[in-house]
Amino acid sequence: MRVLVKHIVLAFVAVAVAAFAAEDAAVQGCADGALVSSIKLEGLEHTRNRVVERELQNRVGEPFSVEKFEAEKRRLQDLDLFTEITVSCNVSQDPSTPSLRDSAQDDTFLSVTYSFKEIFRWIPSPAGKETDRDGLMIGLALANLNVLGEDIRAEVQYRTSTDPFLENNEYAFYASSPYLFGLPLGWNFEFLRTDSYDDIHGYQDDSWLVDLDVDYEMLPHLSLLGTVAGRELKKAAFLPEFGFGFAFDFRDSKLDTRRGVYYEYMLTHVGAGDNQDSGCDVSDGESCEGMGGENYWELLTDARAYWTLNRFVTGATALARYRPGDVKFYDYYYHGGPNTFRGRGGTALGGKEDKADSVRLGVHEVLLTLEERFVLMERHAASVMGVNFFYGVQLVAGLDGSLLWDSGRPGWDDYEGAVYGGLHLVIPALDRIRFEVGYRPDRGEPTFYFGLFDKVTSSRWRSR
């Protein structure tokens, strides 16, 4: 046992030393305080220079700062376009910019070179999605992570359920970018065709969805948000959506956040009332009972806070959605699975599947999470047969809280809690793959969960 513990400790030390060495290698020959006389970008074969330049904080004519480089490196990693980002400097006594000759301290100037290794651009690959309703869905996808070199991501997908196999199907097209024609107007477009039996809510989800979300950075750390969508649900109605809100974002990065806070408030209206045509053909023996249009408002609050000490990252998140008005059963929220509450659903470690059911349905929801992450391995660049990618490893443990209710104020009967732990693989495009085990004290049996993306992301777009 002592030998085993010794090897584990040595492994942790080796990982830490390798990570610190990688951090040192990312900055070569760059001294704080020396004036930047020129900036050069290398390795951008498929990415336009302006995509990188708008994220840089070190500027020509200003003192170079390693701290600024670490910040801009996190911003560049957020683009999900590069596996490796390094900076190197050449010191000279004569700046390439004549106006700087009398500005530098001790006549020291820096020619700064940023070097990039781009991630694979075209991704013909298997497609995956994990929802509380359909479980694991697999299929095929074709994605371009950098259309026209402008940091525009476009993707087409076909996904089908694994259990029951081929019975629940989705066809999707996604496109997104953090900029529009050079303006800080982020946008995300989604088209989704669904033909799936929803065994939680008890109806056939035969629907079409078109959605556009926009995010305008009005001021540093303050964005205005907007959304407009239309959903055609067979046997129910056409369900229009429109919403607006704002967000304060003080995170160091949007992907794999280590420090900072995020707060968002959104007000959205869904539906147009019960007087809509349900599209249900009673002559064919179809039942229209319980279907029809909706008419409600959704008040959403999304709060997140992160703090880091060495390799330990503490995160606290809260997602609350209150929906006054007429909400039909097919849009009730469900809690259970890797995207919501890791204490229900999933697969018991004994092999028995804890299938999702209609017990935990509600009009309003609150999801609470307190999570501790240990960065076992920082992002590490790799290449296989000319395909560049990166990977990282994190150990996680945390607490999940779930509040789900229909009307009035929630009580303790509406609350459930669970603990969980597991392993996260940080990868391109999907953000992370999550392998987790949850335990709910009143159930008494650990349950395994498999998830894609960070939970705070998948909780927002999960299948209704």
Per-residue pLDDT tens over the stretch 383-435: 888 788 899 999 999 999 999 999 999 999 999 999 999 999 999 888 899 99
Instruction: Give the DSSP per-residue string, 41-98.
Output: EE--SSS-HHHHHTT----TTSB--HHHHHHHHHHHHHTT-EEEEEEEEEEESS-SSG
Higher pLDDT, 8 or 174: 174
pLDDT at residue 368 greater than cutoff 90: yes
- The phi-psi region of residue 149 (left if phi > 0; otherwise alpha if psi is between -120 and 50; otherwise beta) is left
How many Cβ atoms sit within 10 Å of the Cβ of residue 140? 13
**pLDDT for the residue 7:** 39
Mean pLDDT on 115-122:
88
- The phi-psi region of residue 285 (left if phi > 0; otherwise alpha if psi is between -120 and 50; otherwise beta) is left
Mean pLDDT on 376-381:
93
**pLDDT for the residue 464:** 39
Distance CA 220, CA 83 (A): 27
What domains does the chain contain, in order, with CATH numbers?
22-118 (3.10.20.310), 133-280+290-461 (2.40.160.50)
* Cβ atoms 133, 334 nearer than 8 A: yes
Q: How confident is the model at residue 29 (pLDDT cuts 50, 70, 90)?
A: confident
Q: Residue 102 corresponds to which amino acid?
A: D
CA 119 to chain centre: 18
* Cβ atoms 251, 271 nearer than 8 A: no
Distance CA 80, CA 185 (A): 18
Which of 64, 59, 62 is CA-nearest to residue 27?
Answer: 64
Mean pLDDT on 325-350:
87
* Cβ atoms 334, 407 nearer than 8 A: no
The structure tokens listed for 322 are: 């209150």
How many Cβ atoms sit within 10 Å of the Cβ of residue 382? 11
Model confidence over 35-64: pLDDT tens digits?
A: 999 999 999 999 999 999 999 999 999 999
**CB-neighbour burial class of residue 386 (10 A; exposed 0-12, middle 13-18, buried 19+):** exposed
How far lies 195's CA from each of 208, 243, 312, 371, in Å? 9, 26, 43, 35
Partners of residue 239 on adjacent β-strands: 231
**pLDDT for the residue 321:** 97
What share of the chain has pLDDT > 70, as a percent? 82
350-354 long-range contacts (CB < 8 A, ≥24 apart) are: 350/445, 354/447
**pLDDT for the residue 15:** 42
Q: How confident is the model at residue 358 (pLDDT cuts 50, 70, 90)?
A: low
**pLDDT for the residue 357:** 62
**pLDDT for the residue 324:** 96
Distance CA 379, CA 144 (A): 22
Torsion 52-54-55-57 (CA) sign: positive
Q: How confident is the model at residue 174 (pLDDT cuts 50, 70, 90)?
A: very high
**pLDDT for the residue 106:** 52
